[in-house]
Amino acid sequence: MSENVGSTKTIAGLVKWFDPTKGFGFVVADEGGPDILLHANVLRNFGQSSVADGAAVEIVLQDTERGAQAVEVLSITPPVADEGVPLDDVAAVSPEELAEIEMEPSRVKWFDKSKGFGFANVFGRSEDVFIHIEVLRRSGLADLQPGEAVGLRVVDGRRGRMAIQVCSWESALKE
């Protein structure tokens, strides 16, 4: 039995991959070392049901008999945007303008990761809000579940209302 089993420490790293269907993924520490297990329950305690591959995280990890695992997520920073994906409606909004758009409480209608998009309904409004996978990724999320409560920043795009930022409900409440 290792003398480090049970010890904890705070580290920074990047999400290697996370699969919400499987309920887990892995983080690679900035300092190197073996992959760190990130379980969906730990992510849920932070207020998110998924996290985008490549997102920067700060976590508390614990050494266990089976290896290192995250026991708490302290912060998540979305991955750097892929400039090769054209999202004209999103690109036209500066970070300052984005911060001034009111967060709207919403519920996910459906989201299909393989198709790369889905829709949500803003509470008190009848029209759907389009959510593109790249907007989700830029927001630090990897997937959404039907019925999931989220906060959306929405603009009127060429084809109707579309999300330009998606936050977990818990994050939206903090704003």
pLDDT tens-digit readout, 41-50: 999 898 888 8
pTM check: above 0.85: no
Q: Is the pLDDT of residue 137 over 60?
A: yes
Q: Is the pLDDT of residue 175 over 80?
A: no
Q: What is the per-residue pLDDT for 172?
A: 61
Q: What is the per-residue pLDDT for 30?
A: 94
What secondary structure does DSSP assign to 70-129, as a single string?
EEEEEEEEPPPP-TTS--HHHHTS-HHHHHHSPPEEEEEEEEETTTTEEEEEETT--SEE
One-letter amino acid for residue 57 of the chain: V
DSSP class of 140: T
Q: Is the pLDDT of residue 84 over 60?
A: no
Does 88-174 match 8-77 at the fold level?
yes
Q: Is the pLDDT of residue 82 over 60?
A: no
* Cα dihedral sign, 63-66-70-72: negative
Mapped onto helix, strand or coil, the DSSP state of residue 138 is helix
Q: What is the per-residue pLDDT for 88?
A: 58
Q: Which architecture characterizes domain 88-174 according to CATH?
A: Beta Barrel (2.40)
Domains of the chain, residue spans: 8-77, 88-174
Under CATH, to which class is 8-77 assigned? mainly beta
